Amino acid sequence: MNDLELDVRPILRHGGEPFGAIMGAVSRLAKGQRLKLYATFKPEPLFHVMASQGFSNEASPLEDGEWMVIFTPVDGERVAVVESSPESPETWPDPAHYLDCTELDPPEPMVRILAQLEIMPEGEVLFALLAREPIFLFPELKLRGHAWVGNFDAAGEAYRLMVRAGGQK
C-alpha cells in the first residue's frame, strides 16, 4: 500500500497552521496506510497527538535541514482523540497565574505554559491567552495529568485557556 504524502512546508513558510491539513490527511488514510509528512522543522508536538491516535513515528532530517516523518498505525488501529475531562471547572479556584501568549509564535506558548505548570502546586489554576487554539498542547496536558477548559473570546481573536495543575482534585 502506498503512503499518503502531505507536504506542509508551504503552509509553514507562509506562517499558517497545518494542523487541519494534517488531521484531514489522517482522516483519509486507509486501514494500515502510513502518512508521510514533510515539514520545515521536526514536529515533536505532533508526535504526541499522533501517538494518542495510535500512530508511531519515524523522523528523518532532510539535506536542507527540513524533516520527513512517517506515521505508521500501530496494529493497524487508531484510538480516540485526546480530550480533557474537567469536572466542574466552575468550582476551580481563581487563577493564580496569568500568561499572555498572544504575541508568541509556536511552540513558545506551549513551552511557557508547561514550564509554569511544572512549578505550580497541584490544584492551582493558570489562565493563558493565546492567538490560536493550542491543539498540540492538549495531549501534553493530558499526559501530565492536568485538566483544562478553553474557548475563543466573543470576537474570535484570542483563545482563553484555564488549566488546573495536577489533574483531578
Q: Grid coordinates standing for 31?
A: 486501514
CA distances 156 to 34, 49, 54, 159, Å, are: 35, 24, 32, 8
Q: Please give the Cα distance from 126 to 99 (Å, whole number).
A: 8
Backbone angles phi, psi at 47, to 5 degrees: -60, -40
pTM here is: 0.55
Over residues 110-143, the pLDDT tens digits come to 999 999 999 999 989 999 999 988 888 888 898 8
Q: What is the mean pLDDT of residues 89-97?
A: 85
22-31, 74-83, 126-135, 148-157: least confidently modelled range: 74-83
Mean pLDDT of 23-35: 84
CATH architecture for the domain at 4-73: 2-Layer Sandwich (3.30)
How do strand 125-130 and strand 97-101 relate by DSSP bridges? parallel
Ramachandran angles phi, psi of 12, nearest 5°: -65, -40
Burial of 121 (0-12, 13-18, 19+ CB in 10 A): exposed
d(CA 18, CA 45) in angstroms, rounded, equals: 13
For the residues of 39-52, what is the DSSP string, one character each? ESS--HHHHHHHHH
Task: Determine contact, residues 5/39, Cβ cutoff 8 Å.
Answer: no
Q: What fold is seen in the domain 91-165? A: Translation Initiation Factor IF3 (3.30.110)
Give the domain ranges of the chain: 4-73, 91-165
Is the fold of 4-73 the same as that of 91-165?
Answer: yes
33-83 per-position pLDDT tens digit: 899 999 999 998 888 778 877 889 999 999 899 999 999 998 765 544 445
